[in-house]
Chain A
Amino acid sequence: AQSVAQPEDQVNVAEGNPLTVKCTYSVSGNPYLFWYVQYPNRGLQFLLKYITGDNLVKGSYGFEAEFNKSQTSFHLKKPSALVSDSALYFCAVRWGDDKIIFGKGTRLHILP
Chain B
Amino acid sequence: GAGVSQSPSNKVTEKGKDVELRCDPISGHTALYWYRQSLGQGLEFLIYFQGNSAPDKSGLPSDRFSAERTGGSVSTLTIQRTQQEDSAVYLCASSLASGGRTLHFGNGTRLTVT
Contacts and interface: CB of A to CB of B under 8 A. Distances in A.
A46 B102 CA distance: 7
A100 B45 contact: yes
A37 to B, nearest CB: 11
Interface string A24-56: 000000001010100000111110010100000
The interface residues of chain B, by DSSP majority, are classed as: strand
Interface string B40-74: 11110100101000001010000000000000000
Interface residues of B, number: 23
A87 interface: no
B112 interface: no
Given A36-B103, A94-B100, A105 B43 contact: yes
Contact of B101 (A36, A90, A100, A105): A100
Nearest to B6: A43
B100 A101 contact: no
A32 B108 contact: no
Contacts of B35: 102
A101 B102 contact: no
Contact of A43 (B33, B100, B108): B108
Given A49-B100, A98-B101, A99-B45, 12 more contacts: A32-B100, A32-B101, A36-B103, A43-B105, A44-B105, A45-B105, A46-B104, A49-B102, A90-B42, A92-B103, A98-B31, A100-B101
* 8 nearest CB pairs, A to B: A104-B42, A102-B43, A44-B105, A51-B100, A43-B107, A105-B42, A43-B105, A32-B100
27 contacts: A6-B42, A32-B101, A34-B100, A34-B102, A36-B103, A43-B105, A43-B107, A43-B108, A44-B91, A44-B93, A44-B105, A45-B105, A46-B103, A49-B102, A51-B100, A90-B43, A94-B101, A97-B56, A99-B45, A99-B56, A99-B58, A101-B45, A104-B40, A104-B41, A104-B42, A105-B42, A105-B43
Interface of B: 31, 33, 35, 40-43, 45, 48, 50, 56, 58, 91, 93, 100-108
